[in-house]
Structure 1
Amino acid sequence: MFTFTHRNPDMQLDKEHTALVLADIQNEFLTEGGVYYPMVEERLRINSVHDHLEALLVCAKENGFSVIHSPHYFYPTDGQWVAPVGAMADYLGARGFVLRKDPLSLDGFAGSGADFPDRFRKYLQDGETANTSPHKSYSSDANDLILQLRMRRIEKVVMAGPVGNLCLEGHMRDLIENGFEVAMVRDAIAAGRNEEGDAYTAAMVNYRFMANAVWTTEDAVKRLTTAASG
Protein backbone atom coordinates (compact mmCIF):
# COMPACT_ATOMS: atom_id res chain seq x y z
CA MET A 1 0.00 0.00 0.00
CA PHE A 2 1.32 3.45 -0.94
CA THR A 3 2.10 5.70 1.99
CA PHE A 4 2.57 9.41 1.39
CA THR A 5 5.81 10.41 3.04
CA HIS A 6 6.76 14.00 2.32
CA ARG A 7 6.83 16.97 0.02
CA ASN A 8 10.00 18.59 -1.24
CA PRO A 9 10.61 21.92 0.51
CA ASP A 10 9.83 25.13 -1.38
CA MET A 11 13.38 26.10 -2.30
CA GLN A 12 13.88 29.86 -2.60
CA LEU A 13 16.39 31.33 -5.05
CA ASP A 14 18.44 34.51 -4.86
CA LYS A 15 20.62 35.76 -7.68
CA GLU A 16 23.81 36.25 -5.70
CA HIS A 17 23.98 32.68 -4.41
CA THR A 18 22.37 30.66 -7.23
CA ALA A 19 23.90 28.92 -10.26
CA LEU A 20 22.74 26.73 -13.14
CA VAL A 21 24.75 23.49 -13.17
CA LEU A 22 24.63 21.15 -16.17
CA ALA A 23 26.39 17.82 -16.71
CA ASP A 24 27.31 16.05 -19.96
CA ILE A 25 26.09 18.55 -22.56
CA GLN A 26 28.10 16.63 -25.16
CA ASN A 27 27.60 14.90 -28.49
CA GLU A 28 27.83 11.41 -27.01
CA PHE A 29 24.61 12.05 -25.10
CA LEU A 30 22.65 14.62 -27.09
CA THR A 31 23.50 14.08 -30.77
CA GLU A 32 22.50 11.27 -33.11
CA GLY A 33 25.53 9.04 -33.59
CA GLY A 34 26.75 9.54 -30.03
CA VAL A 35 27.63 6.40 -28.10
CA TYR A 36 25.16 7.08 -25.29
CA TYR A 37 22.50 8.77 -27.44
CA PRO A 38 20.50 5.60 -28.33
CA MET A 39 20.02 4.84 -24.63
CA VAL A 40 18.40 8.21 -23.88
CA GLU A 41 16.93 9.11 -27.28
CA GLU A 42 13.34 8.23 -26.37
CA ARG A 43 13.31 10.26 -23.17
CA LEU A 44 15.11 13.17 -24.82
CA ARG A 45 12.23 13.33 -27.28
CA ILE A 46 9.40 12.79 -24.76
CA ASN A 47 10.70 15.52 -22.46
CA SER A 48 11.87 17.91 -25.21
CA VAL A 49 15.17 17.97 -23.33
CA HIS A 50 17.11 19.92 -25.97
CA ASP A 51 14.55 22.73 -25.94
CA HIS A 52 14.37 22.81 -22.16
CA LEU A 53 18.14 22.83 -21.70
CA GLU A 54 18.36 25.78 -24.06
CA ALA A 55 15.54 27.58 -22.23
CA LEU A 56 17.44 27.22 -18.96
CA LEU A 57 20.67 28.46 -20.53
CA VAL A 58 18.98 31.45 -22.15
CA CYS A 59 17.31 32.38 -18.87
CA ALA A 60 20.52 32.05 -16.86
CA LYS A 61 22.54 34.06 -19.37
CA GLU A 62 19.96 36.81 -19.78
CA ASN A 63 19.60 37.20 -16.03
CA GLY A 64 23.27 37.04 -15.12
CA PHE A 65 23.37 33.75 -13.21
CA SER A 66 26.58 31.72 -13.04
CA VAL A 67 26.54 28.71 -15.38
CA ILE A 68 28.81 25.77 -14.64
CA HIS A 69 29.11 22.72 -16.88
CA SER A 70 30.68 19.43 -15.80
CA PRO A 71 31.85 17.46 -18.87
CA HIS A 72 32.80 13.79 -19.06
CA TYR A 73 36.18 13.07 -20.74
CA PHE A 74 38.57 10.15 -21.03
CA TYR A 75 42.13 10.14 -22.40
CA PRO A 76 44.15 7.27 -23.90
CA THR A 77 46.21 7.02 -20.68
CA ASP A 78 43.02 6.14 -18.81
CA GLY A 79 43.28 2.84 -20.69
CA GLN A 80 46.07 1.98 -18.24
CA TRP A 81 43.49 1.46 -15.50
CA VAL A 82 43.41 -2.13 -14.24
CA ALA A 83 40.78 -1.82 -11.50
CA PRO A 84 37.20 -2.79 -12.42
CA VAL A 85 35.09 0.21 -13.42
CA GLY A 86 31.53 -1.15 -13.28
CA ALA A 87 28.95 -2.28 -15.80
CA MET A 88 28.15 0.90 -17.71
CA ALA A 89 31.70 2.28 -17.66
CA ASP A 90 33.03 -1.04 -18.97
CA TYR A 91 30.46 -1.06 -21.79
CA LEU A 92 31.14 2.53 -22.82
CA GLY A 93 34.92 2.38 -22.46
CA ALA A 94 35.17 -0.28 -25.14
CA ARG A 95 33.47 2.10 -27.57
CA GLY A 96 35.77 5.09 -27.24
CA PHE A 97 33.26 7.01 -25.17
CA VAL A 98 33.98 10.80 -24.72
CA LEU A 99 37.57 10.12 -25.75
CA ARG A 100 40.02 12.98 -26.17
CA LYS A 101 43.59 12.73 -27.46
CA ASP A 102 45.19 14.37 -24.44
CA PRO A 103 44.23 16.80 -21.65
CA LEU A 104 46.59 19.37 -23.20
CA SER A 105 45.44 18.95 -26.80
CA LEU A 106 42.24 19.67 -28.71
CA ASP A 107 43.38 17.74 -31.79
CA GLY A 108 40.40 15.78 -33.04
CA PHE A 109 38.09 17.29 -30.45
CA ALA A 110 35.88 19.34 -32.79
CA GLY A 111 32.85 17.30 -33.79
CA SER A 112 33.85 14.31 -31.67
CA GLY A 113 31.63 12.62 -29.12
CA ALA A 114 33.37 14.60 -26.38
CA ASP A 115 32.60 17.93 -28.06
CA PHE A 116 29.60 20.15 -27.36
CA PRO A 117 26.56 19.94 -29.66
CA ASP A 118 26.49 22.89 -32.06
CA ARG A 119 23.19 24.07 -30.57
CA PHE A 120 24.78 24.61 -27.15
CA ARG A 121 28.28 25.72 -28.13
CA LYS A 122 27.46 29.44 -28.02
CA TYR A 123 26.41 29.08 -24.37
CA LEU A 124 29.18 26.77 -23.19
CA GLN A 125 32.03 28.55 -24.99
CA ASP A 126 30.98 32.17 -24.49
CA GLY A 127 33.87 32.98 -22.14
CA GLU A 128 31.50 33.16 -19.17
CA THR A 129 30.43 29.55 -18.59
CA ALA A 130 32.82 27.62 -16.36
CA ASN A 131 33.56 24.21 -17.92
CA THR A 132 35.01 22.20 -15.07
CA SER A 133 37.73 19.59 -15.19
CA PRO A 134 36.23 16.26 -16.35
CA HIS A 135 34.38 13.82 -14.16
CA LYS A 136 35.69 10.31 -14.76
CA SER A 137 32.91 8.36 -13.11
CA TYR A 138 29.35 9.35 -12.31
CA SER A 139 29.80 11.99 -9.63
CA SER A 140 31.71 15.25 -9.38
CA ASP A 141 33.95 13.86 -6.67
CA ALA A 142 37.03 13.82 -8.94
CA ASN A 143 36.58 17.21 -10.61
CA ASP A 144 36.48 20.84 -9.47
CA LEU A 145 32.72 21.52 -9.59
CA ILE A 146 32.39 22.11 -5.86
CA LEU A 147 35.46 24.36 -5.82
CA GLN A 148 34.02 26.41 -8.69
CA LEU A 149 30.77 26.85 -6.76
CA ARG A 150 32.44 27.63 -3.44
CA MET A 151 34.71 30.27 -4.98
CA ARG A 152 31.62 32.02 -6.34
CA ARG A 153 29.85 31.79 -2.95
CA ILE A 154 27.11 29.74 -4.58
CA GLU A 155 24.75 27.99 -2.15
CA LYS A 156 21.80 27.04 -4.38
CA VAL A 157 21.96 25.05 -7.61
CA VAL A 158 19.47 24.37 -10.40
CA MET A 159 20.49 21.17 -12.21
CA ALA A 160 19.77 19.37 -15.48
CA GLY A 161 21.41 17.03 -18.00
CA PRO A 162 20.84 13.98 -20.18
CA VAL A 163 21.72 11.09 -17.81
CA GLY A 164 19.44 11.59 -14.84
CA ASN A 165 20.07 8.33 -12.99
CA LEU A 166 23.88 8.21 -13.26
CA CYS A 167 26.06 11.30 -13.69
CA LEU A 168 23.38 13.84 -12.83
CA GLU A 169 22.23 11.98 -9.75
CA GLY A 170 25.85 11.44 -8.72
CA HIS A 171 26.49 15.17 -8.98
CA MET A 172 23.29 15.94 -7.07
CA ARG A 173 24.29 13.65 -4.21
CA ASP A 174 27.74 15.25 -4.00
CA LEU A 175 26.27 18.74 -3.84
CA ILE A 176 23.63 17.91 -1.24
CA GLU A 177 26.18 16.16 0.95
CA ASN A 178 28.42 19.22 0.71
CA GLY A 179 25.70 21.56 1.98
CA PHE A 180 24.20 22.95 -1.25
CA GLU A 181 20.47 23.30 -1.91
CA VAL A 182 19.61 21.57 -5.17
CA ALA A 183 16.61 21.86 -7.50
CA MET A 184 16.31 19.27 -10.26
CA VAL A 185 14.57 20.26 -13.52
CA ARG A 186 12.61 17.13 -14.35
CA ASP A 187 11.80 17.84 -18.03
CA ALA A 188 15.36 18.94 -18.86
CA ILE A 189 16.58 15.49 -17.88
CA ALA A 190 16.64 12.12 -19.67
CA ALA A 191 17.71 8.57 -18.83
CA GLY A 192 17.69 5.13 -20.40
CA ARG A 193 16.13 1.83 -19.49
CA ASN A 194 17.15 -1.79 -19.14
CA GLU A 195 15.43 -5.07 -18.33
CA GLU A 196 15.06 -3.97 -14.70
CA GLY A 197 12.99 -0.92 -15.60
CA ASP A 198 12.95 2.77 -16.50
CA ALA A 199 15.98 4.69 -15.22
CA TYR A 200 14.18 8.04 -15.62
CA THR A 201 11.49 6.93 -13.20
CA ALA A 202 14.16 5.64 -10.82
CA ALA A 203 15.90 9.02 -10.94
CA MET A 204 12.69 10.93 -10.24
CA VAL A 205 11.89 8.70 -7.27
CA ASN A 206 15.34 9.38 -5.80
CA TYR A 207 15.12 13.10 -6.52
CA ARG A 208 11.86 13.29 -4.59
CA PHE A 209 13.58 11.71 -1.60
CA MET A 210 16.77 13.81 -1.75
CA ALA A 211 16.51 17.05 -3.69
CA ASN A 212 15.38 20.33 -2.20
CA ALA A 213 13.03 20.81 -5.16
CA VAL A 214 11.90 19.08 -8.35
CA TRP A 215 10.62 21.59 -10.91
CA THR A 216 9.61 21.80 -14.54
CA THR A 217 11.61 24.05 -16.86
CA GLU A 218 8.74 26.54 -16.92
CA ASP A 219 8.76 26.77 -13.14
CA ALA A 220 12.57 27.00 -12.95
CA VAL A 221 12.65 29.82 -15.51
CA LYS A 222 9.97 31.75 -13.63
CA ARG A 223 11.81 31.35 -10.34
CA LEU A 224 15.17 32.33 -11.80
CA THR A 225 13.66 35.38 -13.50
CA THR A 226 11.89 36.44 -10.30
CA ALA A 227 15.06 36.02 -8.26
CA ALA A 228 17.00 38.13 -10.76
CA SER A 229 14.49 40.95 -10.61
CA GLY A 230 14.38 41.34 -6.95
Structure 2
Amino acid sequence: MDSAYTAHDSALLIVDPYNDFMSEGGKLYELTKGTAQASGFYENLPRVIQAVRAASLRVFIVPHRRWRPGDYAGWLQTNLSQQGVARTQLFAEGSWGGEFHPGFGPRPGDIVVHEHWAQSGFANTDLDAQLKLHGIRRIILVGMVANTCVESTARFGMELGYHVTLVRDATAAFSAEGMHAAHEVNGPSFAHAILSTDELLAALPRGEQQAGAVRRDSP
Protein backbone atom coordinates (compact mmCIF):
# COMPACT_ATOMS: atom_id res chain seq x y z
CA MET A 1 0.00 0.00 0.00
CA ASP A 2 1.17 3.53 -0.76
CA SER A 3 2.04 6.07 1.91
CA ALA A 4 -0.56 7.21 4.43
CA TYR A 5 -3.46 9.46 3.49
CA THR A 6 -3.19 13.05 4.67
CA ALA A 7 -5.55 15.95 5.26
CA HIS A 8 -3.68 17.93 2.61
CA ASP A 9 -4.36 15.68 -0.36
CA SER A 10 -6.94 13.03 0.55
CA ALA A 11 -10.73 13.00 0.76
CA LEU A 12 -13.58 10.64 1.48
CA LEU A 13 -16.31 10.33 -1.14
CA ILE A 14 -19.62 9.08 0.27
CA VAL A 15 -21.69 7.90 -2.66
CA ASP A 16 -25.51 8.12 -2.56
CA PRO A 17 -26.10 8.30 1.22
CA TYR A 18 -29.88 8.54 0.85
CA ASN A 19 -32.55 7.16 3.15
CA ASP A 20 -33.90 5.13 0.22
CA PHE A 21 -30.65 3.16 0.32
CA MET A 22 -29.43 3.30 3.89
CA SER A 23 -32.41 3.66 6.22
CA GLU A 24 -34.83 0.93 7.19
CA GLY A 25 -37.99 1.50 5.20
CA GLY A 26 -36.11 2.96 2.25
CA LYS A 27 -37.04 1.70 -1.20
CA LEU A 28 -33.74 -0.15 -1.72
CA TYR A 29 -32.86 -0.94 1.87
CA GLU A 30 -34.09 -4.55 1.83
CA LEU A 31 -32.56 -5.21 -1.59
CA THR A 32 -29.08 -4.30 -0.32
CA LYS A 33 -29.53 -5.55 3.25
CA GLY A 34 -28.03 -8.99 2.63
CA THR A 35 -24.70 -7.77 1.30
CA ALA A 36 -24.65 -4.91 3.80
CA GLN A 37 -24.94 -7.36 6.66
CA ALA A 38 -22.36 -9.67 5.12
CA SER A 39 -19.82 -6.88 4.70
CA GLY A 40 -20.54 -5.16 8.00
CA PHE A 41 -21.53 -2.03 6.10
CA TYR A 42 -23.63 -0.45 8.83
CA GLU A 43 -20.90 -1.03 11.41
CA ASN A 44 -17.96 -0.02 9.22
CA LEU A 45 -19.27 3.06 7.43
CA PRO A 46 -19.68 5.04 10.69
CA ARG A 47 -16.15 4.01 11.71
CA VAL A 48 -14.73 5.24 8.40
CA ILE A 49 -16.59 8.55 8.55
CA GLN A 50 -15.67 9.19 12.18
CA ALA A 51 -12.00 8.39 11.63
CA VAL A 52 -11.79 10.48 8.46
CA ARG A 53 -13.32 13.48 10.22
CA ALA A 54 -11.02 13.02 13.20
CA ALA A 55 -8.05 13.02 10.82
CA SER A 56 -9.33 16.29 9.25
CA LEU A 57 -9.74 14.82 5.78
CA ARG A 58 -12.37 16.52 3.65
CA VAL A 59 -15.66 14.75 3.02
CA PHE A 60 -17.47 14.96 -0.31
CA ILE A 61 -21.05 13.83 -0.72
CA VAL A 62 -21.61 12.34 -4.19
CA PRO A 63 -25.39 12.11 -4.67
CA HIS A 64 -27.51 10.53 -7.36
CA ARG A 65 -30.12 12.62 -9.13
CA ARG A 66 -33.21 12.99 -6.97
CA TRP A 67 -36.25 11.98 -9.04
CA ARG A 68 -38.40 14.87 -10.20
CA PRO A 69 -41.54 14.83 -12.38
CA GLY A 70 -40.57 14.87 -16.03
CA ASP A 71 -37.14 13.28 -15.54
CA TYR A 72 -36.10 11.28 -18.63
CA ALA A 73 -39.08 12.53 -20.67
CA GLY A 74 -38.08 12.68 -24.33
CA TRP A 75 -34.71 10.99 -23.81
CA LEU A 76 -33.54 8.94 -26.79
CA GLN A 77 -32.53 6.11 -24.49
CA THR A 78 -32.56 5.23 -20.82
CA ASN A 79 -30.80 2.30 -19.19
CA LEU A 80 -32.41 -0.22 -16.85
CA SER A 81 -31.29 1.68 -13.76
CA GLN A 82 -32.81 4.93 -14.99
CA GLN A 83 -36.00 3.14 -15.92
CA GLY A 84 -36.13 1.76 -12.39
CA VAL A 85 -35.58 5.21 -10.91
CA ALA A 86 -38.46 6.59 -12.95
CA ARG A 87 -40.76 3.67 -12.15
CA THR A 88 -40.17 3.81 -8.37
CA GLN A 89 -39.55 7.57 -8.12
CA LEU A 90 -36.30 6.73 -6.34
CA PHE A 91 -34.80 9.44 -4.11
CA ALA A 92 -37.78 11.62 -4.98
CA GLU A 93 -37.15 15.29 -4.32
CA GLY A 94 -39.03 16.43 -1.22
CA SER A 95 -39.57 12.88 0.05
CA TRP A 96 -38.04 11.20 3.09
CA GLY A 97 -36.31 8.69 0.80
CA GLY A 98 -34.63 11.53 -1.06
CA GLU A 99 -33.17 13.00 2.12
CA PHE A 100 -29.66 12.16 3.24
CA HIS A 101 -29.27 9.51 5.92
CA PRO A 102 -28.84 11.40 9.21
CA GLY A 103 -25.64 9.57 10.11
CA PHE A 104 -24.00 9.37 6.70
CA GLY A 105 -25.00 12.63 5.06
CA PRO A 106 -23.21 15.99 5.04
CA ARG A 107 -21.98 17.97 8.00
CA PRO A 108 -20.98 21.66 8.03
CA GLY A 109 -17.85 22.07 5.92
CA ASP A 110 -18.52 19.04 3.70
CA ILE A 111 -18.85 19.52 -0.04
CA VAL A 112 -22.05 18.28 -1.67
CA VAL A 113 -21.38 17.96 -5.38
CA HIS A 114 -23.91 18.18 -8.18
CA GLU A 115 -26.20 15.19 -8.59
CA HIS A 116 -25.22 12.57 -11.17
CA TRP A 117 -27.80 11.26 -13.62
CA ALA A 118 -26.43 7.76 -14.16
CA GLN A 119 -23.56 6.05 -12.32
CA SER A 120 -20.41 8.14 -12.35
CA GLY A 121 -20.18 10.91 -9.78
CA PHE A 122 -17.81 12.73 -12.16
CA ALA A 123 -19.93 12.72 -15.32
CA ASN A 124 -21.69 16.06 -15.85
CA THR A 125 -21.02 17.22 -12.27
CA ASP A 126 -18.56 19.53 -10.53
CA LEU A 127 -16.78 16.75 -8.61
CA ASP A 128 -13.50 16.97 -10.52
CA ALA A 129 -13.41 20.75 -10.20
CA GLN A 130 -14.22 20.66 -6.49
CA LEU A 131 -11.53 18.07 -5.80
CA LYS A 132 -8.90 20.03 -7.71
CA LEU A 133 -9.88 23.31 -6.07
CA HIS A 134 -9.37 21.69 -2.67
CA GLY A 135 -6.03 20.16 -3.63
CA ILE A 136 -7.24 16.58 -3.49
CA ARG A 137 -5.35 13.89 -5.38
CA ARG A 138 -6.37 10.80 -3.38
CA ILE A 139 -9.99 9.70 -3.17
CA ILE A 140 -11.44 7.06 -0.83
CA LEU A 141 -14.82 5.71 -1.90
CA VAL A 142 -17.59 4.27 0.27
CA GLY A 143 -21.36 4.00 -0.04
CA MET A 144 -23.79 2.55 -2.57
CA VAL A 145 -23.66 0.58 -4.85
CA ALA A 146 -20.33 -1.22 -5.00
CA ASN A 147 -20.48 -2.37 -8.63
CA THR A 148 -22.38 0.59 -10.10
CA CYS A 149 -22.04 4.15 -8.78
CA VAL A 150 -19.05 3.47 -6.52
CA GLU A 151 -17.20 1.55 -9.21
CA SER A 152 -18.07 3.97 -12.01
CA THR A 153 -16.98 6.99 -9.97
CA ALA A 154 -13.77 5.25 -8.98
CA ARG A 155 -12.96 4.24 -12.57
CA PHE A 156 -13.56 7.79 -13.81
CA GLY A 157 -11.39 9.12 -10.99
CA MET A 158 -8.53 6.87 -12.04
CA GLU A 159 -8.84 8.07 -15.63
CA LEU A 160 -8.58 11.66 -14.37
CA GLY A 161 -5.37 10.88 -12.50
CA TYR A 162 -6.57 10.44 -8.92
CA HIS A 163 -5.21 7.81 -6.57
CA VAL A 164 -8.26 5.61 -5.94
CA THR A 165 -9.03 3.59 -2.82
CA LEU A 166 -11.99 1.24 -2.44
CA VAL A 167 -13.11 0.19 1.04
CA ARG A 168 -14.56 -3.24 0.46
CA ASP A 169 -16.50 -3.55 3.72
CA ALA A 170 -17.95 -0.02 3.72
CA THR A 171 -20.16 -0.58 0.70
CA ALA A 172 -22.95 -2.91 -0.38
CA ALA A 173 -24.68 -4.13 -3.52
CA PHE A 174 -27.79 -5.92 -4.72
CA SER A 175 -26.04 -9.31 -4.74
CA ALA A 176 -22.97 -11.13 -3.50
CA GLU A 177 -21.95 -11.46 -7.16
CA GLY A 178 -21.99 -7.68 -7.48
CA MET A 179 -19.73 -7.31 -4.45
CA HIS A 180 -17.36 -9.96 -5.81
CA ALA A 181 -17.20 -8.28 -9.20
CA ALA A 182 -16.55 -4.88 -7.66
CA HIS A 183 -13.66 -5.91 -5.44
CA GLU A 184 -12.21 -9.13 -6.82
CA VAL A 185 -12.75 -8.91 -10.59
CA ASN A 186 -13.05 -5.27 -11.67
CA GLY A 187 -11.54 -3.30 -8.80
CA PRO A 188 -7.95 -4.55 -9.18
CA SER A 189 -7.89 -3.28 -12.78
CA PHE A 190 -8.33 0.38 -11.79
CA ALA A 191 -8.06 0.92 -8.03
CA HIS A 192 -4.69 1.71 -6.49
CA ALA A 193 -5.76 0.22 -3.16
CA ILE A 194 -8.61 -2.05 -2.05
CA LEU A 195 -8.71 -2.01 1.73
CA SER A 196 -10.75 -3.15 4.67
CA THR A 197 -11.98 -0.57 7.15
CA ASP A 198 -9.29 -1.63 9.62
CA GLU A 199 -6.58 -1.24 6.98
CA LEU A 200 -7.83 2.20 5.99
CA LEU A 201 -8.00 3.43 9.58
CA ALA A 202 -4.45 2.24 10.16
CA ALA A 203 -3.31 4.28 7.15
CA LEU A 204 -4.91 7.52 8.32
CA PRO A 205 -2.92 10.00 10.42
CA ARG A 206 -2.63 8.49 13.92
CA GLY A 207 -4.52 5.58 12.40
CA GLU A 208 -3.79 2.96 15.03
CA GLN A 209 -4.89 5.21 17.88
CA GLN A 210 -7.98 6.35 15.97
CA ALA A 211 -8.97 2.83 15.06
CA GLY A 212 -9.00 1.90 18.72
CA ALA A 213 -10.83 5.07 19.68
CA VAL A 214 -13.48 4.53 17.04
CA ARG A 215 -14.07 0.96 18.22
CA ARG A 216 -14.38 2.08 21.84
CA ASP A 217 -16.68 4.99 21.00
CA SER A 218 -18.89 3.18 18.52
CA PRO A 219 -22.32 2.14 19.80
- Under a length normalisation based on structure 1, what TM-score does the superposition of the two structures give? 0.83
SS at match of 2:118: coil
- Equivalent position of 2:112 in the other structure: 131
SS at match of 2:71: helix
- Equivalent position of 1:117 in the other structure: 101
What does 1:96-107 correspond to in 2, within 5 Å?
96-100=89-93
2:36 aligned with 1:44: yes
Q: Could you tell me the percent identity over the aligned residues? A: 24
Q: Is the 8 A contact 1:17 1:153 kept in 2?
A: yes
**1:153 pairs with 132, 135, 140, which one?**
135
SS at match of 2:103: helix
Q: Is the 8 A contact 1:11 1:183 kept in 2?
A: no
- Equivalent position of 2:2 in the other structure: 11
- Under a length normalisation based on structure 2, what TM-score does the superposition of the two structures give? 0.87
Give the counterpart letter for 1:24 in structure 2.
D
Spell out, residue by residue over 1:162-202, the C-alpha distance to the aligned partner (whole angstroms, 9 max, x if none). 20000001100110000000110000011113xxx711111
2:180 aligned with 1:180: no
Cα distance in 1 between the residues matched to 2:130 and 2:50: 21
Q: Is the 8 A contact 1:70 1:133 kept in 2?
A: yes
SS at match of 2:120: coil
- Equivalent position of 1:203 in the other structure: 182
Quote how far apart the aligned CAs of 1:79 are: 4.2
- Equivalent position of 1:76 in the other structure: 69
Cα distance in 2 between the residues matched to 1:156 and 1:82: 35
- Stretches of structure 1 that go unaligned for 5 or more consecutive residues are 1-9, 101-107
2:50 aligned with 1:88: no
Cα distance in 2 between the residues matched to 1:20 and 1:120: 12
SS at match of 1:168: helix
Aligned pair count? 205
Spell out, residue by residue over 1:136-155, the C-alpha distance to the aligned partner (whole angstroms, 9 max, x if none). 10002121111110100100
Q: Is the 8 A contact 2:6 2:205 kept in 1?
A: no
SS at match of 1:16: coil
Q: Is the 8 A contact 1:74 1:136 kept in 2?
A: no
- Stretches of structure 2 that go unaligned for 5 or more consecutive residues are 210-219
2:214 aligned with 1:214: no
Cα distance in 2 between the residues matched to 1:184 and 1:83: 33
